[in-house]
Amino acid sequence: MKILVDADACPVVSIVEKIAKKYDVQTILLCDTSHIIKSDYSEVKVIGSGADAVDIALANMCKKGDIAVTQDYGVAAMVLGKGGYCIHQSGKIFTDENIGGLLMDRHLAKKARMSNSKNHLKGPGKRTREDDERFEKSFEKLLKEILNK
């Protein structure tokens, strides 16, 4: 088992590494050529530039039993389809039961953004310490459950 992180602008890399190190789990940070990421613990893979290059690489690298950290619902669906586990940087765990609804929400949001209406959807609020704590609890719980299987 390994942990794969879509590390481009990911605010929880240090939390992932702290917990991965605690449980001695291999971690790979994936980023594109416009980001510079260094790590004393994780392997860093720089993927070529392109809109979905990191997403595609993460999905391709994922194997059954791996954990992916991403905020992209499409990547989450591909990871789940391969028998992997997936968690959002908010701490929400993606499952076979919730991914369909999340993909539909993403589709509807994109449709609304593309319309000419003045109804713009707000993005997420500023990240807080509580967000980090929620992610850390959820991520460690997920990792422990997988390790105990």
Residue spans of the domains in the chain: they are 2-147
Predicted model pTM: 0.86
Say what the pLDDT of residue 126 is. 87
Say what the pLDDT of residue 49 is. 79
CATH number of 2-147: 3.40.50
Say what the pLDDT of residue 98 is. 80
Strand partners, 67: 3, 85
Say what the pLDDT of residue 111 is. 66
Spatial separation of the C-alpha atoms in residues 127 and 75, rounded to whole Å:
22
Say what the pLDDT of residue 149 is. 82
In sequence order, what are the residues at sequence separation of 6 or more whose Cβ sits closer than 8 angstroms to the Cβ of residue 144? 23
C-beta of residue 112 within 8 angstroms of C-beta of residue 122: no
Residues of the chain with pLDDT under 50: none
